[in-house]
Structure 1
């Protein structure tokens, strides 16, 4: 079992095991949502992810202004502001890699054309 948490520890997430690879999204919305050059995520089927939120701090933001045109529900901890997931079309979820102590190297990139020219990933 792989377990992660938000900064304040109010929201804990788990999945059956740590994926061998992560993904990185460079779209402007992921940059803004995470305050960084992109978002490291694990793309999983929703039933694979367990979110433990006993204090009901998990909040949703429906992001309709996406480059793909597909709305995304961005979930975050309302206590510490930590991004938790992005709920994608169908039964997919992008679980934020930063919730976990170890992050495997990205296996693929999304919106690679928006990757900063100075950025070099392995």
Structure 2
């Protein structure tokens, strides 16, 4: 079992094990919601994630400004603003934000590379640490 948390510690997230692989997303909305050049994500079945939110601060934003046209829900801590996960309207998988955990898993895939900042070096893809 691995555990991560938001900045203020109000939300704790437990997953079966610390992933050693991640997926980077460069879409405009992920970049804005994470305040960074990209979002680091772990793909999990929703049923494998245990979210402890005793203060009931987990909030959601329905993001309909997506390239797919689907409305996704971006979950974040209402106290500190840390992104927690992105839920898609179909399927059972969610994109859990890697920044909740340490260490980050090595990227094995990139999404929306056409939005990647030119100053970012090409990644050497591959699994493992």
Deviation at 1:63, TM superposition (A): 0.3
TM-score by length of 1: 0.96
Q: Residue 68 of structure 2 aligns with which residue?
A: 68
Provide Cα deviations, 1:56-98, integer angstroms capped at 9, x if missing partner. Answer: 0000100001012121100000011110000123111100000
* CA–CA separation in structure 2 for the residues paired with 1:78 and 1:116: 29
TM-score by length of 2: 0.91
Unaligned segments of structure 2, at least 5 residues: 125-129
RMSD between aligned alpha carbons? 0.9
Q: Residue 106 of structure 1 aligns with which residue?
A: 107
Q: Residue 19 of structure 2 aligns with which residue?
A: 19
Unaligned segments of structure 1, at least 5 residues: none
Matched residue pairs, number?
Answer: 122
Mapped contact 2:25–2:111 kept (Cα < 8 A): yes
* CA–CA separation in structure 1 for the residues paired with 2:20 and 2:119: 26
Runs of 4+ deviating beyond 2 Å: none
